Structure 1
Amino acid sequence: MLIKLVLVGRLKDRAMQARCDEFAKWLSPYAKLEVVELPDSTVAKEGLAILKSLGRERNAAVVVLSEEGREFTSVQFAEKLGSCDRKIVFVIGGPYGLAPEVKQRADLLWSLSKLTFTHELARLLLFEQLFRATNILHGGSYHNP
């Protein structure tokens, strides 16, 4: 499984970065992970940078995290991830949201929750859910149904 994360901004909290790194390490037996961090800027400039990064991924499935997206249980997300037969690119925008063009480029808009999270916390949740989903798909014991 090939997974690319396109993320706006850097994590400033070292503990949160360490936790993301830990989930990435746990994910490595299940998937090849590529992480691209783009600099914070205006929503328009971030949108252009995201679209440029996505332009290199013509055949990939693009999943954009957005509050108006579809919600999944962890098992449903695992099934969705497992049914994808191509590279998957996940996008998290910056603190002020995403340019409409980025949302339009998505194959799927995904909402982590009806709650609003900081983009840093959304990043940690994405790493955790990616590990959880791949662990579910491989019959691991991390997820307790």
Structure 2
Amino acid sequence: MKIIIISIASKNTNYDILISDYKKRLPPHIKIEHLKIPIVKRSKTKSVKDNIKAEGQRLLKMIKNHDILIALDEKGDMFSTKELADSMNHWFQDAVNPIFAIGGPDGFSEEVLDRANMQWSLSKLTLPHAMVPVIIIEQIYRSWSMLNNQPYHRS
């Protein structure tokens, strides 16, 4: 299974070491790829809507028709770790590759939200943008550990 996380974000973060750590913990048959799309430069001549549309177009070019797109959005549904583990189990069985998309500072375009198979909110809290990939990968690892009766997750 290949899991892709696409962030509309600045290139460098101090969280990349944590991302690498969780990637190493997963078994070899679960590949995680973290891709970054540069944020559209903000200017007074472009509207917020123009910026998110341009970022959305870049994102949608990376998505294939058969991909499961999960858009991380503050208005999305909240999932428990158990619910994520159940979804992962279905993705394994159906041999699909989920793509978790993290929007830019102004969120997603309507086109991205319309294409998304689901919208997921991590929390009611506002989280630092650069931490979101770490949280996603940790939850993927936690879900995998639950599905495989590993001691990492304690209910």
In structure 2, how many angstroms separate the alpha carbons of the residues matched to 1:4 and 1:43? Answer: 21
Q: Tell me, what secondary structure is at the counterpart of 1:94?
A: coil
In structure 1, how many angstroms separate the alpha carbons of the residues matched to 2:25 and 2:11? Answer: 19
> Which has the greater radius of gyration?
2
Q: Which runs of 5+ in 1 are unaligned?
A: none
Question: After superposition, where does 1:1-145 map in structure 2 within 5 Å?
Answer: 1-10=1-10, 12-14=12-14, 16-29=15-28, 31-41=30-40, 42-54=51-63, 57-84=64-91, 85=94, 86-145=96-155
The amino acid of 1:46's aligned partner reads: E
How far did residue 28 of structure 1 move? 4.2
Q: Which residue of 1 aligns with 2:43?
A: none
Q: Tell me, what secondary structure is at the counterpart of 2:62?
A: helix
How far did residue 25 of structure 1 move? 1.5
Aligned residues: 142
Following superposition, which runs of at least 4 residues in structure 1 exceed 4 angstroms of deviation?
A: none
TM normalised by structure 1 equals 0.89
In structure 1, how many angstroms separate the alpha carbons of the residues matched to 2:5 and 2:145? Answer: 18
Deviations, residues 43-90 of structure 1 (Å, cap 9, x unaligned): 221111001111xx2211111111111111111111112112211111
Q: In the alignment, is the contact (CA less than 8 A) between 2:60 and 2:112 conserved in 1? A: yes
